[in-house]
Amino acid sequence: MPNKNYQKGVLLEREIVNYFKDVGCHAARTAGSHGKYDLYAIGTDAQIILGWDKLETAKFRVGVDYLTRTTIKYIDKLYVHRVSDGCNTALFIQCKRKEK
């Protein structure tokens, strides 16, 4: 059985993926990849902007090089790398969740 920290991280990753899927982006977790990023979202610029707005609605604030959200129980940080070709955009996101 996975440890509690892993389970908390999975919940955060699924939440973020669903924000982007809800607006029509192709988004997925990269579970088990051991890579730098935990998830990705690919879509048109308009779809990515809508997904980003959903993050802001979920109380994520833009920091210096990350997005952050503080809830009653957790501090969530998202480190985002953006790649764009002019009409399509890919976001690669590393998620961190810590208990207060």
Domain ranges of the chain: 4-99
pTM score > 0.95 for this model? no
User: How open is the CA angle 72-12-56, to the nearest 5 degrees?
Assistant: 70
Specify whether the CB–CB gap between 38 and 9 falls below 8 A: yes
Distance from C-alpha of 28 to C-alpha of 77, rounded to nearest angstrom: 18
- Chain-centroid distance of CA 73 in Å reads 18
Which pLDDT band holds residue 31 (cuts at 50, 70, 90)?
confident
Which pLDDT band holds residue 1 (cuts at 50, 70, 90)?
low
